[in-house]
C-alpha cells in the first residue's frame, strides 16, 4: 500500500474577480521512503495542493478529492482528527524561516510543546529530545542555544531549527515548501545537503515543493511538473532531466542558465506570460506559449502513460 | 572555444566611463541603553575601487548583507559616501550638489528588483515611461513624448496599444519591461540593475535577461548587473566582481572567475550553486566554508573573510589584503592568491 495516495485533488478560491481553480485534479502516490519533487512556477498550484491536504487553506479556499494517508482520508477528517496527524505523521517546513517561528517564545518552548503534545513525553525527556534534534541539524552548542529566541539566529540557523522541528516526531512524510529559496547560495547548499542527509538517515518519505530545478536534481527520486493547476509531466528525476517530453518541462530546463556550461548564446525563454487562472485558454493550458501547438491542442489533453512509468499531458506523439 | 567568441570589452581598451576609488558608505546605528546611547558605524561598503567600460557589463555578486545594493545607491548619489570618489566620465559625482546630481541621472539610470512595487499604481504605463522626459525636458511637445513612449514600449517587447493601462494589469515580467523602458527613455549610458530578475519566475527570467543583453548590445550601454544568482550573472557579464562584507574580493572576467577562481570565497560561491543534473547534484558538495557571515557591525580584523576561510594563515588575521592586480590582469584581495590553485574541476555529467 502506498503511504500517501492522492486522487482528483481540487482546490478553488473565491475571489472578488471570480472563482480561481488553483488545483484542477491531481493524482499521485508516494511510497515509504520515496522522495517526490513538485516543480512549478508561481500560481501552478504546487503549494496549495499540499496545504489543502493538511487542512491549511486560506478561508476563501475549498478543496475536494481524496488524500489517503495509510488508507485514511485526510480530506474527510475534522480539525481535531487532522491535528493528530499534522506534525506527527506528516510535517511541513515552510519557505520563510523568518515568519514561521513565534518571535515571542524561546526555541525550547516551541520545540518542547510539539513533542509533549504528540508523544506525551515529560518536560525533561522532551527537552533532551529537542536538544538532540538541534544537534542533528548541526546547531552548535544546542544546550545553550535552545534557550534563545528566533531573532538571535541567522536565516540559515532558523531554517535548521525549522527542519529540526519538522523532524521532532519522526514523521513518515516530510513536506518542504521551498526550504532553501529565502537563503543565500552558500547556506542553500548546506541546507539542501542537510535535508538530503536527514531524509536518507531516517528513511522518511519527502515531498519537496520548489521552482528550482537545481535543488530538485539532488534531493528527489520522482518529479511532478505542474502548470496552471494540473500535472503536465511525471517521471523519475533522470527521465525529467534527460528525457523531458512535455514542451513546458523542456522549456523550463532550457531557460535556466547553467554555471557549469560556457554558453554565450541566448537563453531559451518560454514566450508569453504566466497563465491567468481566471482566464485560461480553451484546451491545453500551455497552448498559447507552446512552440509545438497544433489543431489538436484546442481540446484538453489527458495525462497519459509515455513509457517506463513516465506520464505526459500533451497531444504530441509520446514515446511508447 | 566560446570563451574567445565573447566580446572582449574591458581594461586595456579605452578609458573607463565609471571609475570608483576607495568608496566607503557607513551607516550610523544607535546602540546602547537608556542612559547612554552611542552610535556605531555599519560599514556597508568599505573601500571599493573598480572601473566600468563603455559597452561593458560588470556583474556584482555577493550574499545578503555584502553591500551590493548600498553600492548601487552610492553610485547614484542616493546615499552619501563617507569617503572615496565616483568618477563618471571624469567628473566626481560625490562632489556635486543635489541639483547637479539630478542632471547626471539622465545618464545613469536604475532598474529595481520588485517590478510592481517600483511602478506607481495610479499612473498609466504611458505616464510612467514618459515621466523622466517631462522631468528633464518640461517644454517637450506632447506628440513627441507619445511617439517616444510608444517606441520604447515596442523596443522592450510591450504592445504600444497598452499605453493607457495600469501596472496591476500586467504580469511581473511585463512590469519589469515597463521599468526597463522607463530607465531607457532618456538614452542613458549606464544602467544599474539591482537584482532585476530575482523576483520573476524562471521562464520569465530568461526573457528579461535576453532583453537586457540585446538592448545593451544594440545601444552600447554599460551595465552594472547586481544579483545573487551566479549562473545568471555569468551568463550576462563580461567581468564579475565578488563582494563580501562591503569589500571586493575579486574582479575577473566571467569565464576565468568560474573556471579558476582566485579567491577562496569565490570558489565557495561557485561550488555552492546547485547544478540541474541529477548525477552531479547528488554528489556531496564541500564549499570549504565554515560558520556564518560575521556581523558588518563588527567585521573581523585583517582579511574580512579569514574567519570562514579554509586557507587562512596567521597573516590573514593581521593584515588587510589589498585588491591587487595579478599578471594576467584580474584583480584579487587575497594574500595567498599566487600559491592557491582553486581550479573548478568539471565533473562528468550524467546520461540516461
Phi, psi (degrees; rounded to nearest 5) at B140: -65, 145
Judge: A253–B276 Cβ closer than 8 Å, yes or no. yes
Residue A122 φ/ψ region, left for φ over 0, alpha for ψ in the -120 to 50 degree band, beta for the rest: beta
CB atoms within 10 A of CB B89: 15
Over 50: is that where the pLDDT of B352 sits? no
Task: Report pLDDT digits (tens) over B152-196.
Answer: 999 999 999 999 999 999 988 999 999 999 999 999 999 999 999
- Residues 43-82, chain A, touching B (beta carbon < 8 A): none
Percentages of chain A per state (helix, strand, coil), in multiples of 5: 35, 25, 45
- Whole-number percent of chain A with pLDDT over 90: 59
Which candidate, A312, A287, A283, A315, places its Cα nearest to that of A299? A283
Over 50: is that where the pLDDT of B2 sits? no
Using an 8 Å Cβ cutoff, are A301 and B41 in contact?
Answer: no
List CB contacts (< 8 A) between B346 and chain A. 260
In the predicted model, what is the mean pLDDT of residues B315-320? Answer: 96
pLDDT of residue B141: 95
pLDDT of residue A67: 97
Every domain of chain B and the residues it spans: 2-107+190-201+220-332, 110-187
In the predicted model, what is the mean pLDDT of residues A279-284? Answer: 92
| CATH number assigned to the domain covering B2-107+190-201+220-332 | 3.40.50.300
In the predicted model, what is the mean pLDDT of residues A7-15? Answer: 96
Rounded CA separation A116/A131 (Å): 14
Return all residues near B199 (Cβ < 8 A) that are at least 6 apart.
Answer: B113, B114, B115, B172
CA distance B352 to chain A (A): 7
pLDDT of residue A230: 96
Q: What is the maximum span of chain A, computed from C-alpha positions, in angstroms?
A: 67
Torsion angle in degrees (nearest 10) through CA of A111, A116, A121, A127: 20
Judge: B235–A267 Cβ closer than 8 Å, yes or no. yes
Task: Report pLDDT digits (tens) over B123-145.
Answer: 999 999 999 999 999 999 999 99
Using an 8 Å Cβ cutoff, are A158 and A133 in contact?
Answer: no
Residue A151 contacts B, CB cutoff 8 Å: no
pLDDT of residue A43: 86
Give the three cell numbers for residue A27. 493524482
CB half-sphere exposure, A171, CA atoms < 13 A: 27
Q: Kindly list the distances between the CA atom of residue B101 and the CA atoms of A73, B92, B108, in Å, as whole numbers in the listed order.
A: 65, 10, 10
List CB contacts (< 8 A) between B1 and chain A. 262
Using an 8 Å Cβ cutoff, are B287 and B271 in contact?
Answer: yes
Phi, psi (degrees; rounded to nearest 5) at B251: -130, 115
Task: Report pLDDT digits (tens) over B31-84.
Answer: 766 666 778 888 999 999 999 999 999 999 998 888 998 999 999 999 999 999
Using an 8 Å Cβ cutoff, are B133 and B145 in contact?
Answer: yes
Over 70: is that where the pLDDT of A64 sits? yes
Residue A288 contacts B, CB cutoff 8 Å: no
Q: Strands of B190-194's sheet, edge to edge?
A: B108-111, B190-194, B222-226, B57-61, B239-244, B247-253, B331-332, B324-325
Residue B312 φ/ψ region, left for φ over 0, alpha for ψ in the -120 to 50 degree band, beta for the rest: beta
Over 60: is that where the pLDDT of A9 sits? yes
Judge residue A94's burial from the number of C-beta atoms within 10 Å of its C-beta, 0-12 exposed, 13-18 middle, 19 or more buried.
buried
pLDDT of residue A247: 95
Residue A247 contacts B, CB cutoff 8 Å: no
Amino acid at each position: 500500500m502506498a503511504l500517501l495516495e492522492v486522487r482528483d485533488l481540487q482546490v478553488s478560491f473565491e475571489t472578488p474577480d471570480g472563482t480561481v481553480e488553483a488545483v484542477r485534479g491531481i493524482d499521485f502516490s508516494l511510497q515509504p521512503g520515496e522522495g517526490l519533487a513538485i516543480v512549478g512556477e508561481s500560481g501552478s498550484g504546487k503549494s496549495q495542493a499540499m496545504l489543502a491536504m493538511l487542512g491549511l487553506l486560506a478561508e476563501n479556499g475549498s478543496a475536494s478529492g481524496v488524500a489517503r494517508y495509510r488508507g485514511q482520508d485526510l480530506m474527510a477528517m475534522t480539525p481535531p482528527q487532522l491535528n493528530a496527524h499534522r506534525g506527527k505523521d506528516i510535517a511541513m517546513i515552510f519557505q520563510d524561516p523568518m515568519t514561521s517561528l513565534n518571535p515571542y517564545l524561546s526555541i525550547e518552548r516551541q520545540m518542547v510543546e510539539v513533542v509533549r503534545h504528540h508523544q506525551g513525553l515529560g518536560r525533561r525527556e522532551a527537552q533532551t529530545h529537542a536538544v538532540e534534534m538541534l544537534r542533528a541539524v548541526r546547531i552548535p552548542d544546542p544546550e545553550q542555544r535552545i534557550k534563545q529566541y528566533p531573532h538571535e539566529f541567522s536565516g540559515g540557523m532558523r531554517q535548521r531549527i525549522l527542519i529540526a522541528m519538522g523532524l521532532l516526531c519522526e514523521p513518515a512524510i516530510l513536506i518542504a515548501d521551498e526550504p532553501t529559496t529565502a537563503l543565500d547560495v552558500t547556506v542553500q547548499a548546506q541546507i539542501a545537503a542537510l535535508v538530503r542527509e536527514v531524509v536518507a538517515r531516517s528513511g522518511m518519505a519527502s515531498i519537496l515543493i520548489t521552482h528550482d530545478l537545481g535543488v530538485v536534481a539532488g534531493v528527489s527520486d520522482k518529479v511532478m511538473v505542474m502548470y496552471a493547476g494540473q500535472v503536465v509531466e511525471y517521471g523519475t528525476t533522470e527521465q525529467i532531466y534527460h528525457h523531458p517530453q512535455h514542451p513546458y518541462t523542456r522549456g523550463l530546463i532550457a531557460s535556466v542558465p547553467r554555471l557549469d556550461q560556457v554558453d554565450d548564446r541566448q537563453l531559451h525563454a518560454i514566450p508569453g506570460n504566466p497563465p491567468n487562472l481566471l482566464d485560461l485558454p480553451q484546451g491545453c493550458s500551455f497552448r498559447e506559449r507552446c512552440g509545438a501547438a497544433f489543431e489538436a491542442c484546442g481540446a484538453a489533453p489527458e495525462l497519459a502513460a509515455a513509457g517506463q512509468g513516465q506520464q505526459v499531458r500533451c497531444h504530441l506523439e509520446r514515446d511508447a | 572555444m566560446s570563451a574567445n567568441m565573447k566580446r572582449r570589452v574591458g581594461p586595456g581598451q579605452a578609458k573607463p566611463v565609471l571609475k570608483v576609488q576607495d568608496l566607503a558608505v557607513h551607516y550610523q546605528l544607535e546602540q546602547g541603553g537608556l542612559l547612554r546611547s552611542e552610535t556605531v558605524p555599519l560599514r556597508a561598503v568599505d573601500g571599493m575601487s573598480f572601473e566600468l567600460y563603455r559597452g561593458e557589463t560588470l556583474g556584482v555578486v555577493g550574499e545578503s548583507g555584502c553591500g551590493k545594493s548600498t553600492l548601487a545607491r552610492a553610485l547614484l548619489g542616493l546615499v552619501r559616501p563617507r569617503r572615496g570618489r565616483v568618477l563618471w566620465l571624469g567628473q566626481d559625482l560625490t562632489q556635486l550638489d543635489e541639483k547637479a546630481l539630478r542632471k547626471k541621472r539622465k545618464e545613469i539610470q536604475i532598474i529595481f528588483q520588485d517590478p510592481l512595487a517600483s511602478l506607481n499604481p495610479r499612473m498609466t504605463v504611458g505616464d510612467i515611461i514618459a515621466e523622466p522626459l517631462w522631468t528633464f525636458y518640461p517644454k517637450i511637445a506632447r506628440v513627441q513624448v507619445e511617439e517616444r513612449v510608444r517606441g520604447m514600449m515596442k523596443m522592450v517587447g510591450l504592445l504600444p496599444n497598452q499605453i493607457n493601462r495600469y501596472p496591476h494589469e500586467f504580469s511581473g515580467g511585463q512590469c519589469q519591461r515597463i521599468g526597463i523602458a522607463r530607465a531607457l527613455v532618456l538614452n542613458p549610458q549606464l544602467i544599474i540593475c539591482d537584482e532585476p530578475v530575482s523576483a520573476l519566475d524562471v521562464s520569465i527570467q530568461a526573457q528579461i535577461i535576453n532583453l537586457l543583453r540585446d538592448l545593451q548590445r544594440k545601444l552600447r550601454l554599460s551595465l552594472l548587473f547586481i544579483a545573487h544568482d551566479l549562473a545568471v550573472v555569468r551568463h550576462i557579464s563580461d567581468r564579475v566582481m565578488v563582494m563580501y562584507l562591503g569589500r571586493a574580493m575579486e574582479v575577473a572576467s566571467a569565464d576565468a572567475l568560474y573556471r579558476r577562481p582566485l579567491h577562496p570565497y569565490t570558489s565557495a560561491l561557485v561550488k555552492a550553486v546547485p547544478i540541474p543534473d541529477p548525477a552531479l547534484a547528488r554528489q556531496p558538495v564541500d564549499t570549504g566554508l565554515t560558520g556564518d557571515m560575521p556581523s558588518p557591525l563588527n567585521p573581523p580584523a585583517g582579511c574580512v573573510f579569514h574567519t570562514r576561510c579554509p586557507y587562512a594563515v596567521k597573516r590573514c588575521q593581521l593584515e588587510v589584503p589589498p585588491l591587487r592586480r595579478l599578471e594576467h590582469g584580474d584583480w584579487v584581495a587575497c594574500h595567498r592568491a599566487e600559491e592557491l590553485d582553486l581550479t573548478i574541476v568539471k565533473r562528468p555529467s550524467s546520461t540516461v
